[in-house]
């Protein structure tokens, strides 16, 4: 194994940023990219009139609404590390995309709004990370606004999340009285809104400022010293092992919007975040330092460049080295694929990538034969990585093209957008109507918007309401069992399922037809 290859892999840090909408996720991503020199000027999500948008929000609908609805990938170098950030959608309707993204990372950064504390979506995503044993780093944001007391935020974090916390730094005041942070890790004070030369004040062995300093005159300084003493005596001990196991989260305070505390966070994060980890497969764990190339596709995105009508499959490299033009095996089909067109990402700004190693995320041009969850490997042993989570949709609409003459575009658009995995496609067995299923309403709005803007097709969507979907164990079934309350459909893989009106209709159907065996794919993943 070449020394450089090993060094390259160990320098990778691949993480997702998770939070509730509006906690400051996209803003923090921007500031991290700024430090990595990947962008010169951070676009702010709020500044719609300036025509500047966040680098990671590239889709038209995201620019209009100021929210992230797809996961974008960004890569930059910082000091001796190569960082891959996956910015996930905060909106709950896009939880599927986020859950799949979390399978492709080695750690997660959780952002909490200091005024709101732990919100519903943050908790959901946190639980997924905990379940997968992903190390979590916490950034408590918006300290330049009035928020909850820091000790209360820590208590909430530990009680609600069920995880130990260790504050790496501690705020000195907040809102209009925010003076900066007391850095426990670097044993210094970092002052807010103070020029670089004077920003940092070193502390002595007792954790206090030597001699005279204006900050010592402020009562907030004495209050902070008392709180630090309390943390030192009664708080959790720092443990790298617990961080790696996902049992302890290092906590950082700061303000992403005013770019305060972000660099300190980044440097400390890179020190303690894990390099690429081994991944489970059908033949056991695959070592990231193994020289045999392998990876899996966790996301497919159509029309990243609308002018070219392209589809990109996002691949997490799990072992070995990727070289453009290499031929790999696709175990699902048993066929070989030549990886000729490959890209690296800076949100929607792409450059051809010739080489990449374990931990990197690259985009592969997809002519239509990849599926989410596909394993690619040079190994002759046809193993596959763990299945990615699939969700049972709860909301359904019937979809048709407004203009009958646009059927060709309509079918192409549906097929391509469905392959991205955010919406699911069904066809009624008797009438062959198209139904779309999704976890949340916003997915339908994005679908309609993209059909109009990317495929030039106006669609009519009729709400069918919420349904309970159950698949058939045995494909043979009497089609006459299909009714308004238990609709028989086929998914895009040709597998039959019933869509039940409610729990009562499901139980009634099972009582009347005990020979029809049904299952929920979600049950297999728990």
Binding residues for GTP, by number, are 19-26, 87-91, 141-144
| Cα(440)–Cα(442) distance, integer angstroms | 6
Grouping H, G, I as helix, E, B as strand and the rest as coil, residue 215 is helix
State residue 519 phi and psi, 5-degree precision.
Answer: -145, 160
The tokens of 45 are what? 């999500």
| Cα(24)–Cα(252) distance, integer angstroms | 14
Q: Which residues are annotated as a binding site?
A: 19-26, 87-91, 141-144
Number of H helices, E strands in the chain: 14, 31
Whether the CA torsion 466, 468, 471, 472 is positive or negative: it is negative
Helices 95-102 and 120-132, axial angle in degrees (round to 10): 30
The tokens of 61 are what? 């609908």
| Cα(452)–Cα(12) distance, integer angstroms | 39
Helices 441-454 and 407-419, axial angle in degrees (round to 10): 130
DSSP calls for 274-295: --PPPEEEBTEEEPTT-SS-EE
| Cα(214)–Cα(503) distance, integer angstroms | 66
Give Cα separations from 489 to 209, 401, 483, 516 (angstroms): 71, 20, 11, 15
Give Cα separations from 314 to 362, 376, 464 (angstroms): 6, 12, 33
| Cα(467)–Cα(503) distance, integer angstroms | 9
């Amino acid at each position: 194994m070449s020394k450089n290859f090993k060094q390259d892999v160990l320098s990778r840090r691949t993480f997702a940023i998770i939070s509730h909408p509006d906690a400051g996720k996209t803003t923090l991503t921007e500031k991290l990219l700024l430090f990595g020199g990947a962008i010169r000027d951070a676009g702010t999500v709020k500044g719609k009139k300036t025509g500047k948008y966040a680098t990671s929000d590239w889709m038209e609908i995201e620019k209009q609404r100021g929210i992230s609805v797809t996961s974008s990938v960004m890569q930059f170098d910082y000091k001796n590390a190569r960082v891959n950030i996956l910015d996930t959608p905060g909106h709950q309707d896009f939880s599927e995309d986020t859950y799949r993204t979390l399978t492709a990372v080695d750690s997660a950064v959780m952002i909490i709004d200091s005024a709101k504390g732990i919100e519903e979506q943050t908790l959901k995503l946190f639980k997924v990370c905990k379940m997968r044993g992903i190390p979590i780093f916490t950034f408590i944001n918006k300290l330049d606004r009035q928020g909850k007391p820091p000790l209360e935020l820590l208590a909430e974090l530990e009680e609600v999340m069920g995880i130990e916390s260790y504050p790496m730094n501690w705020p000195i005041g907040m809102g209009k009285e925010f003076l900066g942070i007391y850095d426990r890790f670097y044993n210094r004070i970092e002052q807010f809104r103070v020029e670089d030369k004077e920003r940092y004040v070193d502390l002595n062995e007792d954790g206090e400022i030597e001699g005279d300093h204006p900050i010592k005159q402020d009562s907030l300084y004495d209050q902070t010293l008392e709180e630090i003493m309390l943390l030192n005596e009664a708080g959790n001990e720092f443990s790298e092992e617990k961080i790696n196991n996902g049992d302890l989260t290092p906590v950082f305070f700061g303000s992403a919007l005013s770019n305060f505390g972000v660099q300190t966070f980044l440097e400390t994060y890179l020190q303690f975040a894990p390099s690429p980890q081994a991944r489970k497969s059908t033949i056991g764990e695959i070592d990231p330092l193994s020289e045999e190339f392998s990876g899996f596709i966790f996301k497919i995105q159509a029309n990243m460049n609308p002018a070219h009508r392209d589809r990109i499959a996002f691949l997490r490299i799990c072992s070995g080295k990727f070289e453009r033009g290499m031929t790999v095996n696709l175990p699902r089909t048993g066929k070989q694929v030549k990886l000729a067109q490959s890209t690296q990402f800076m949100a929607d700004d792409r450059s051809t990538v010739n080489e990449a190693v374990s931990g990197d995320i690259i985009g592969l041009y997809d002519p239509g034969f990849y599926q989410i969850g596909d394993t690619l490997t040079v190994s002759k042993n046809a193993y596959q990585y763990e299945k990615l989570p699939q969700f049972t949709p709860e909301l359904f609409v019937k979809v048709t093209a407004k203009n009958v003459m646009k059927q060709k575009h309509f079918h192409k658009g549906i097929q391509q957008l469905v392959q991205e995995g955010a919406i699911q496609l069904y066809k009624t067995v008797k009438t062959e109507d198209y139904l779309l299923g999704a976890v949340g309403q916003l997915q339908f709005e994005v679908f309609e918007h993209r059909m109009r803007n990317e495929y030039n097709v106006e669609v009519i969507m009729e709400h069918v309401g919420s349904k309970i979907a159950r698949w058939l164990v045995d494909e043979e079934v009497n089609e006459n069992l299909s009714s308004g309350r238990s609709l028989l459909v086929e998914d895009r893989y040709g597998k039959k399922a019933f869509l039940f009106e409610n729990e009562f209709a499901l139980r009634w159907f099972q009582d009347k037809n005990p020979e029809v065996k049904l299952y929920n794919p979600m049950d297999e993943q728990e």
